[in-house]
Amino acid sequence: MAVAARALTLPAVVEELLSEMAAAARDGAPIPDEHLLSLKFVFGSSAIQALDLVDRQSVTLISSPSGRRVYQVLGSSGRTYVCLASCHYCSCPAFAFSVLRKGDSLLCKHLLAVYLSQVMRTCQQLSVSDKQLTDVLLMERTQEAS
């Protein structure tokens, strides 16, 4: 399952929290307040922003016949970002600065929203051709260059 794949690089406390949230979602229960407080403790204001993105159904899983999967997240600014959950990457500037460059954040709000939408099972689904998926990725690369 996707939760197990994240264990490769996310800290154990984050992995455990996401697993517990997934278990609650499987049972149909709302996410317990203690888990939401833990999210806020670990991720700060990004947790609230990520939950808002999930509530607005801003996360879409795009998959192709070859098995490739990317996530698109419609950010609060109205811009769409590409997230690769398999390698914990987001195309947003906050990820490049706070996660990669400064190292003071584990994830950006978009990538956290991807993981939360997975465990809460609220991710939109879109199947496209391999060519269309390539175009999505190339369009993102073009936007990054501008």
Q: Give the tens place of pLDDT for each residue, 28-74.
A: 778 889 989 999 998 989 999 999 999 999 999 999 999 999 999 99
Q: Give the tens place of pLDDT for each residue, 127-143.
A: 999 999 999 888 776 66
Confidence of residue 7 (pLDDT cuts 50, 70, 90): very low
Instruction: Tell me the two tokens of residue 110.
Output: 């978009």
Ranges of each domain in the chain? 12-18+34-138
- Map tokens 């795009």 to a residue: 62
What is the structure's pLDDT at 3? 45
Q: What is the mean pLDDT of the chain?
A: 86
CA distances, 2 to each of 19, 49, 110, 137, 145 (Å)? 10, 22, 17, 21, 31
